[in-house]
Structure 1
Amino acid sequence: MTSLFQAAHRGNRWRDAWTRWMRADLFEPPSLARRLVFGWAAGFLTLGLLSWLCYRLGLDVIAAESVFLIAIVLISLVGSFVMSIGLCVVAVLYIDYYFIKPVLSFDVQYKQDMPALLTFLIASLAITGLVRHVRALGDVRSEQARLLDLTHDTVIVRDMDGVILFWNYGAEEMYGWKKRDAIGKNIHQLLKTRFPAPLDEITASLLRTGRWDGELVHTRRDGTELSIATRWSLQRNGNGRALATLETGNDITARKEAEQALRRSQATYLAEAQRLSHTGSFGWNVWSGEVVWSEQTFRIFEFDPGIVPTLELVLQRVHPDDVERFRDIIGRASTHKQDFEFEFRLVMPDGAIKHLQVVAHVMRDEPERLHYAGAVMDVTQARQSEQQLHHAQSELARVTRVTTLGELSASIAHEVGQPLAAIVTNGEACLRWLDHQPPQPDEVRAGIARMIGEGRRATEIVRRIRTLARKDTGQKTPLELNDVVNDVVSLTQREVLSHQVPLRVRLAPLLPPVLGDRVQLQQVLINLVMNGIQSMDGITGWTRELSIETGLAPGGNVTLTVRDCGAGLDPRHAERVFDAFFSTKPHGMGMGLSICRSIIDAHGGKIVALNNETHGATFQCILPPLAKSVA
């Protein structure tokens, strides 16, 4: 390997010039003729002068053959192979003429001289071939060295002690040291190399695998530091002994600076995005207990960024009602090794309550390396908005109920008036029984009992009306759906009679109870009944009838069905009947059915609307039984 690169710098100028002149384009006739004439003439003249000189000096045949071999080798370095063969033959002729008896003649006096001449010819041809082969190898190595100088990457060859043996043009340009300054120096001392790992470990890996690649920091001649992506390849001899290391490298300083700038930019944008979205990130090594927080996570928990985060530090902030659930989830995450997500509350030092949502994912699941990466989001504003929305929805539902009660004013007055009238009638009857001679206390007692019953009835009606009108927080309790239907029937009875709509009620026996809010479910049923009654106004072409039914669905759910014989649903708007502010009534607000759907959804059920086969529409509410709701 060393000779490969050193060969590129050996040779002499006259040989190169001679070679370039002798190796002109063979396909050009003038050049070919010039080469033949000059080459053969020079060769003959040179060998002739050597022969005459050796003859004049009185050299014997062995000495003359040695001189001729040297001349042939020199001529072979610059001439063609054919010329070398020809000159070998000419040299044999000159030796025969000047040094083989009889001298100055081409005759051979002694037969034992023929083998000597033949031996010289074979030896000269063999030496010529070897010389030309060596010269060809040298040319190849010179070309390789020249190509290595053309690359912009650094190509450096150093021995096993780190001494530089070859230094290409790319290395000169990158580091600022010329070849004459670098060759023979220790590369690590010259470039002040900083390694990503101890040099002994890198060298051991190189000797074991024959290759190594990584990133180094080198220092230029002017003191500038460069980040270098380098690749090392170990060169061995035939016996497998390590001889040298071929090292290539390219400058990645600009790329590294760009990557660092990008990482800084990404970190800045990430921190800003986390701040804006109230989302922090964290890492948790279960086995070591190490916890890592982002800047936003410290901000969410309101801890100083200089402290070391721990789970116990988090527990100091967790709401007392959520501590056990927090410990349980963390405990299961550390043993079951699975992703987790949960929501809990914090109590801040100033008494404020924060709602946090945590999502974590298993990053590594190896012995002693169970690691989670996750995000923690401050959802306090979202929860407050949900509460405000729930409050607004409750208020809207109450206003809708009050509006409905206004529409039911005649029925309410009738329902309240009936027990009051009965009380008055029974009171008058009691007075008559007292004035009777003799008084009849048993009749008076019965009348007073009836008065008490009617008073309680009136009180219950007033209670129901006040319940429908008051603000409520939606308290869900186990209740019988048939009781809800009976309450609504009594409240809407006068409205049904005033519109002359027959009401048919079919209540399924032994229905399972449901978990619900009585007032809200009453509101749903009142709205559906009123819509059904109003849809049949002006219908004269067929029999009008309103039916309320309860029953069981095939899956065990409880159903509440209101069926009318009105005009039905317009197919063009059937999918929008539950949308807010959509109404087919001239003066409708479009909130009744939307509120009904919200209430049923909040109870874990669903409400559907469809046209009947003949006339009218059917609205069906499907509610889960108490057992499913609790589960």
Structure 2
Amino acid sequence: MANQQATTLENNELISNELDFMRNLHTISLSVIGQETGNIFNELLATAIDTAEAAKGIFQLFDDQSGLRIVAHKDLTAEFISLSDSIYEKQATLYLRPGEDMIIENVEQSAAFLKSPILAVLLSAGIRAVYCKPLFSRDGKLLGMLSTYYSAPHHPSGQTVRLLNQLSAYAVAVIHYLHTAEAAQQQQQQTRALVGELLKEIEGRKLLSELIGPQDLKQALAGAITSIRNITNCQSIAMRLEDQGDYPYFVWEGFSDEFIVQEQSLCTKDETGNAVLDETGQYLLECMCGNVIRGRVNPELPYFSPGGSFWCNSTSAVVVTAGPKQWHCQTRGRCRQFESVALVPLKLNETIIGLIQLNDKRQNLFSKELISYLEILGERIGAAVSQWWVRKKLETSLAELRKENLARREAQQKASQAYQQINQILERITDGFFALDNDWRYIYINAVAQKYWSFFTTAEMLGQKIWDLFPDAQPYYHQYLKAKQENIAVHFEAKAISSDRWLEVHAYPSPDGLSIYFRDITDQKNIKQQEQEYRTLLEEQIQLLNLDPDYTFIHDEDGKIVFWGKGAQRGYGWLEQEAVQKDFKNLLKTRFPLPFNEITAEVIAKGKWVGELVHTTKDNKQVTVRSCWLLRKQGHGRLKEIIEIDKDITEEKKMREELGRLETMKLVSQIAAGISHEIRNPMTTVRGYLQLLAKKNQYTEEHPVFKLMIEELDRANQIITEFLSLARNKPSALTEGSLNDIILSLTPLLEADAASQSKGFQTSLLPSIPKILVNTNEMRQLILNFVRNGLEATGPNGNVRISTYLEDHWVILSVEDNGCGIPDEILQNLGTPFLSTKPGGTGLGLPTCYNIARRHNALIDITTGPSGTTFYIKFPANPKGR
């Protein structure tokens, strides 16, 4: 009884499986009939997996190009899918046969996988059993493969094999159906394309017929763009034609008036509104229209055709993907309101005479075939336009010829009058003039020329050969003969035949003889002689100036350099070719004690000026010079020139300033020594009594006042301490040490100071900096003073950088800030005691730093400007510390 029940249950399950299988096939059939083919392969695979009671599956289609390719899969890893692609390539037909299924009940026991790396991938994907069914057509052609995978060893039942065989046959029918539908769709598309090409050709022939022999070119081209609009179904079309070097719109349809006005000209304009020329002398054309018209295209780049056209079906995509240097994607912007844009050249042979512009706000309007057809139309339209131009030019030429015939008759009537006027002109000109015929006979002599031959009259000379009258006229003979034989104009200078006057002679040949003009240049020759003498003197002066060790150059009264000596090259760094013709005030960034115009006026009036200037060298170093300006003697009418001789007194001035500072320090030292104790003793007494009074109960309410008074006394005491430090003359105890170590020990403190003010602090230290002789405490005080001054000089988000480096056997400590700089009036007195720009400042910090530097045999240099200030403290390197 139990066996009978089990058999009944098994039969019911088989019937249920059959019903589920039939329902799935029915659903797939409805999808195919309704042409909802997007998920057919997924549905076939799902049915196979359910029928086979599998865990995973894959559906592959075969084609001759790529072999078996995956079209549907379920629950498979990327590694397994990649493995399937590599296994089932074009070799699939070599090992798959009709009716031969691949059943592997346990992949770990299969001989095909035991020593293969495929086994690890299968196991990693959770596959333990495989059932593959190749799909073949009736004529034995491989169409695809349907594979199911199991997560445990498995042997398919007879019902599973039978149902999968039915599913495979159904899948083959579906694939055949899809192939047939695809072929029908392709045939339908080809038919539509042929009809479209036929309609396009009909419209194109209509366009060309309207261009043959038009009387009104604008009307004909307007009809042409209407035909192009019918061909392309484009919203906006226009044509540009050449007009005096520019290419404005000639006809258009579908564009707004505002667009046409804004885009009318393609010429690049300069700041004054004038058109800019390119290197060939043509107008420089902008935008993509200009690129197409000038032939600046590259068919290897996107958006260009071999025929020289530009086209794209999505300008928004071009703008997003194009880089800033992709010139072939750049436009002036107004065409970006359209998605589909095409620019097709109008050609006459290989010459571009304009272009067709097609714009549409829809995407994907153009194709390569359509652009090629439009290029053919562009060549035909270009030829038609050229023929119209030729005909118009011919008509214009005929009209001009008729006018020319009328003008010729009027000219003949005026010829005799003109001849008389020419004679009058030749007699009135200040140059001598005479004419010779082809036999060298005089045929005309004006009155000026006659004066040079007083021993002959005009009547005696006319009709005579020049060489009979003047047989020894050299170099006239050779020059006149050269003009006739070579048929060229000759120009030469020579002395007059009958006097010592110099003449400038010009001889012009013609078919009728030779025309000669001459004029007296004796005075000019004398001036040239004087100029040559002056030039020789100038060269001697330049040689002397170049020997001068000082910095010497010459400039005109406006400051333009006309001579740049060797000393100036050495001192300021610029070569002669870099300096000449430059304004020295700008080149050297000169600071004057008086306005330049006043100094120049004094030189012109008195012949010289002496004073101190500050120049800046090529490497941006400021040099103080004692400058002597001398007025240079010139010839009559020449511009005034000034010789500037500069002597570098930078170090001398620094020494003077240092001596002044030392004198001030000496005075401060004497004052400090005399009054420091006298001030501190009463202050100590006052402070003690204030502390005693503050402890008494009756003065409890006055405690804040006592506290304030004590703090002010302490502040005064601190000032005295700094004052005493400033006045200190006792040599410091110097020991060998490293600047880097001192800076690194202070870095946490300085970083904390900067952070508390929301400012930055950085260090840049040369690792191998030589050691120097240093007093560590004094050096810490110097660094703290300079860095804190720098932080106070900067605004919000200020920054201070401290650096060390080696330069010409000097160890350099630099403190740089990005503040507003130091004013000139402060800079000149920097280091003077009690000079301070800070509210509540004592003005003793920098003098103390200068004193410390002096005790270390160090020098302090400063560069300052609107972008910040840098202090350079230069220590002599300790040779033993290297």
Is the structural similarity TM-score above 0.5? no
Scaled by the length of structure 2, the TM-score of the pair is: 0.24
Scaled by the length of structure 1, the TM-score of the pair is: 0.31
Which entry has the higher C-alpha Rg, 1 or 2? 1
Give the structure, 1 or 2, with the largest relative contact order (CA under 8 Å, sep 6 or more).
1
